[in-house]
Structure 1
């Protein structure tokens, strides 16, 4: 259950990051609400996951999902660069998170 909570935390982190960009672009109240809720649920789920998982592993995977997911969302939603080098390093982040799961 802790791993599911950690994945949900990472996905909510992605939502929060995407809403920061949306809020900066449009300043609409619903963007701010989704930003606060996204980060709030993310921290809550991370806290739950850290009751079972080691802090270093949980935090590394949470930030990995958030960083890689934020970069992918930037490419898909906001037209950021899709250069192969960028995609390669995003894949490294994800493979590192998977490696932590496999050895932990």
Structure 2
């Protein structure tokens, strides 16, 4: 259950990053509320996962999901560069997260 919670925390982190961009573009209460709720949920699910998983592994996977997911969302939703080099480095971040899972 801790791994499911950790993945959900990472997905909430991705949504929070998208809401930062939306708040930057449209200053309104809805965007701000969604930003606060998504990051709050992300921290709660991360804290729950860290009751079972090692802190270093949990944090690295959480940030990996958030960082790579944010970059992918930027490419899909906001027209950011889809250069092959960028995709290679995103794959490296995800590969490192999987590697941490395998050794912990």
TM-score norm. by structure 2 comes to 0.98
Match of 1:43 in 2: 43
Looking at structure 1, the residues matched to 88 and 66 of structure 2 have their Cα atoms a distance apart, in angstroms, of 16
Looking at structure 1, the residues matched to 58 and 66 of structure 2 have their Cα atoms a distance apart, in angstroms, of 12
Match of 2:5 in 1: 5
- More displaced stretch, 38-47 vs 22-31: 22-31
Aligned partner of residue 33 in structure 1, secondary structure: helix
Alignment of 1:12-91 (within 5 A): 12-91=12-91
How many Å apart are 1:74 and its aligned residue? 0.4
How many Å apart are 1:60 and its aligned residue? 0.3
Aligned partner of residue 9 in structure 1, secondary structure: helix
Task: Kindly indicate whether residue 79 of structure 2 is the aligned counterpart of residue 103 of structure 1.
Answer: no
How many Å apart are 1:30 and its aligned residue? 1.0
How many Å apart are 1:29 and its aligned residue? 1.3
How many Å apart are 1:64 and its aligned residue? 0.3
Looking at structure 2, the residues matched to 15 and 37 of structure 1 have their Cα atoms a distance apart, in angstroms, of 10
Aligned partner of residue 66 in structure 1, secondary structure: helix
Aligned partner of residue 20 in structure 1, secondary structure: helix
- Segments of structure 1 that go 5 or more residues without pairing to the other structure are none
How many Å apart are 1:28 and its aligned residue? 1.9
TM-score norm. by structure 1 comes to 0.98
- Segments of structure 2 that go 5 or more residues without pairing to the other structure are none
